[in-house]
Amino acid sequence: MNSVKAAAIITAAGSGSRMKNSLPKQFIELAGVPVFVHTVRVFQQLPEMAAIILVVPAEHLELTERLAARCQLSTSPRTIRIIKGGLTRQESVKNGLNALPAEIEVVAVHDGVRPFVSVELIRDCLQAAIKSGAAMAAVPVKDTLKSVAAGKTVASTVARDGLWQAQTPQAARVSLLKEAYAAAERDNFTGTDEASLLERIKQAVAIIQGSEKNIKITSQEDLVLAEAIIMHDKDGKNSLNLSDNIRIGQGFDAHCLVAGRPLILGGVRIPHPRGLLGHSDADVLTHALCDAILGAIGAGDIGRHFPDTDPRFKDADSLELLAGVMAMAEADGYELVNADITVLAQEPKLSAHFPAMRKKLAGACKVGERFINLKATTTEKLGFVGREEGIAAQAVVLLKRN
């Protein structure tokens, strides 16, 4: 396999007319991510994929590029190329074939709206195509089939033996598939899949047993089924998971208590003989919250974005830093679900200030106050907190895709 250069053409050029949705079905989100992204990610798991071509409607080329960037599809070593599709599936695949690098010998064509395809099925189809020229995924027909006459009455029962439902991937040697497409074009023939074109040039197409899970999402009902498949997919092999949808983060911070500084916690100035030492306003509570949010989006820590060597952040209002951190999360497509924050302080008592702090923090985070929980504890006079040398804070946050 490794010696043969393989590629994938993922067709996502459908108009989605069957969906009661303004956007084509491949852009509908499943677990917070467009369906086509899930599909591409499965193909990106195959090291032998030398090229992945995604064919999309011409009018949605920019949207697709934006979504692909948001979902960081290019962080995989197997990057995708996004090209314009045609009016029919056949034209779209042809565009894909024309865009393949010259060295590609075998190609798997796959529906962008079949996100539950497995790495194994793709590989089995490619290997069978290398061996015999062409192969496709299919499943035996399970239901009894009826031929229906006009007036919607049963004309006959169709023998089910030997009947299979076509799926994708459908893989073929590139030279054969190009030949099949050229023949179809010459004869003005339009087929609904690659196999129907290959059959016309007398190319045998091997059947690879597909999976009932490899569904094509074309209706709202399919989406319900798709959500159920995600929930029950416990083998972890499928790229569909909730990690893109929700993120968790934790933060911890501690500052020294010194004379001659104001004590600011959660953006609120608290009457106390001493305050926290720091380059900014040293709001330890807000810093822990910032770090938790940065952690959730995988963006390091507060020191990386607001270094204490930078004069711009001298005596900075940490609520403004928090708003900046939230803007970063928003740019990544996330919003705060809730935050739970604990302040570790021997003195002073803080609970009376919690309502004011929650109001400020919730404002900076653009959530309702009830989603910001504040707690305070002493350390029973133990350690630096107990000796009143400093105050510490820790925060846990949950973010979700907005």
Residue 281 binding Mg ion, by CB under 5 A: no
Query: Which stretch of DSSP H or E encloses residue 222?
Result: helix 220-232
Closest distance to Mg ion from the beta carbon of 284 (Å): 6
Q: Does 287 bind Mg ion (CB under 5 A)?
A: yes
For Mg ion, give the closer residue by CB, 31 or 282: 282
Least distance (Å) between residue 61 CB and Mg ion: 45
Nearest to residue 244, comparing CAs of 194, 296, 289? 296
- Smaller CB separation from Mg ion, 287 or 358: 287
Q: Which among 24-32, 88-96, 287-295, 382-390 is the span making contact with Mg ion, rule CB under 5 A?
A: 287-295
Q: How many CA atoms lie within 13 A of 146 on its CB side?
A: 7
Reported residue count of the chain is: 402
Pair 377, 342: CB distance under 8 Å? yes
Rounded CA gap, 333 and 318, in Å? Answer: 23
Q: Which stretch binds Mg ion (CB under 5 A): 35-43, 106-114, 279-287, 352-360?
A: 279-287
- What gap in Å lies between CA 39 and CA 150, rounded to an integer? 39
CB nearer to Mg ion: give 71 or 393: 393
Determine, following the binding rule CB under 5 A, whether residue 253 of this chain makes contact with Mg ion: yes
Does residue 399 contact residue 371 with C-beta atoms inside 8 Å? no
Least Cα distance to 385 among 246, 261, 284, 287 occurs for 284
- # chain residues binding Mg ion, by CB under 5 A: 2
Residues 6+ apart with CB under 8 A from 42: 115, 117, 118, 119, 122, 238, 239
Scanning 155-163, 165-173, 283-291, 381-389 for contacts with Mg ion by CB under 5 A, the matching segment is: 283-291
- Angle at which helix 354-365 crosses helix 318-331, to 10 degrees, equals 40
Residue 303: half-sphere exposure toward Cβ, Cα within 13 Å: 6
- Residue facing Mg ion at closest CB distance: 287
The stretch among 38-46, 108-116, 157-165, 286-294 that binds Mg ion (CB under 5 A) is 286-294
Rounded to a whole number of angstroms, the minimum distance from the CB of residue 393 to Mg ion is: 9
CB of 341 to Mg ion, least distance (A): 14
The two three-digit tokens of residue 11, written as one number: 């067709």
Q: Please report, as a single letter, which amino acid is at residue 80.
A: I
Q: Which is nearer to Mg ion, 38 or 287 (CB)?
A: 287
Taking the complex as a whole, how short is the minimal distance between the CB of residue 279 and Mg ion, in angstroms?
Answer: 9
Question: Toward Mg ion, which CB reaches closer, 287 or 360?
Answer: 287
Assess 124 for contact with Mg ion (CB under 5 A).
no
What distances in angstroms separate CA 286 from CA 112, 168, 210, 336, 341, one per listed residue? 43, 51, 52, 15, 9
Tokens of 40: 């591409």
Contact between 110 and Mg ion by CB under 5 A: the answer reads: no
Strands 390-401 and 29-30: unpaired
Is residue 291 part of the contact set for Mg ion (CB under 5 A)?
no
CB of 338 to Mg ion, least distance (A): 22
- Which one of the spans 147-155, 195-203, 245-253, 363-371 is the region binding Mg ion (CB under 5 A)? 245-253
- The CB-of-301 to Mg ion minimum distance in angstroms stands at 10
Q: Minimum distance from CB of 253 to Mg ion (Å)?
A: 4
Cβ–Cβ under 8 Å, residues 376 and 345: yes
Residue number, 124 or 253, with CB nearest to Mg ion: 253
- Closest CB to Mg ion among 96 and 251? 251
- Using CB under 5 A as the binding rule, the residues of this chain from 158 to 197 that contact Mg ion are none
What 8-state DSSP symbol labels residue 144?
P
> Which parts of this chain interact with Mg ion (CB under 5 A)?
253, 287
